[in-house]
Homo-oligomer: A and B are copies of this chain.
Amino acid sequence: MHALIVHCHPEPKSFNGALTRIARETLEAGGATVEIADLYADGFDPVEGPRHYEPRADTARFAPLTEQRHASENDSLPADVAREIDRLERADLVILQFPLWWHAQPAMMKGWFDRVFVYGGLYTGSRRYDAGHFRGRRAMLSVTTGGPARSFTHYGRGGAIERLLWPIHYSLYYMGFGVLAPFLAHGIQGGGIAYQADNAFRTHLEDTKARWAERLRRLDDSRPIPFTGWSDWTDGVLDPEHPQRWA
């Protein structure tokens, strides 16, 4: 088993950094090999735009999917995108490690989706969802939040966490991944840095790290989150003949 951890945090000494180190150690102890894509350390550019494409399919007007397909077909993908795709191709399991910023992944991680999951090369109109490129492989989010767990509930102050993460989960499913339930590390204030003098907080951090290691040791117990797929849809919509499956 080979795992890729896509790690996104500007501070190596952050709690996100600690969680990624625990993931590497735990997975390796279980016999897996692990690669880490440290987006901030690599200086990954999250901004999709014309500067990444040479030669261009259309120099007069920049349409991202047109250029992605053209670069995929002509073996002229940007070097950093080609590197990330190589990392993904090697991985049986992909873990995305990031802090929840403004109810989603940081811009750096969002741009990793925008630029790396290239049209033509990694998906087309028919090669998506349960027919996606990475079918048979697993992906999961490991997310830290500043607020307490109880507030990330329906109508709670933080917003229902499964609702906040759903767009990211759907993007991973779009690429074919079997998406495992996320690991959630709530209540990590100040990046898990500022309050380490406080005993209760220090205990919370240690408990969370132990919970992460335990979850990683038991990943094979998890089944992917169910999504609708090609057999459910007629013309892009849930098949009215089989609504009960998802009612």
Give the B-binding residues of A (Cβ under 8 A): 10-11, 13-14, 40, 46-50, 61-66, 101-108, 110-111, 113-114, 117, 129, 146-148, 150-151, 153-159, 163-164, 166-168, 170-171, 174, 190-191, 193-194, 228, 232-233, 235-238, 246
Task: Give the chain B neighbours of A150 by CB distance below 8 A.
Answer: 235-237
B-chain residues with CB within 8 Å of residue A105 when the two chains form the complex: 110
- Count this chain's copies in the assembly: 2
Q: Is B11 within 8 A of A48, CB to CB?
A: no
A66 is contacted by which of B156, B174, B190, B238 (Cβ under 8 Å)? Answer: B190
A238 cross-chain contacts in B, Cβ below 8 A: 153-156
- Docked complex Cα distance between A151 and B232 (Å): 12
A194 to B246, CA, bound (A): 36
Q: Which B residues lie within 8 Å of A104 (CB)?
A: 104, 110, 167-168
Chain B residues contacting A64 (CB-CB under 8 Å) are 10, 101, 191
CB distance from A200 to the nearest CB of B (A): 17
B-side contacts of A170, CB under 8 Å = 103, 159, 164
> B103 near A114 (CB under 8 angstroms)?
no
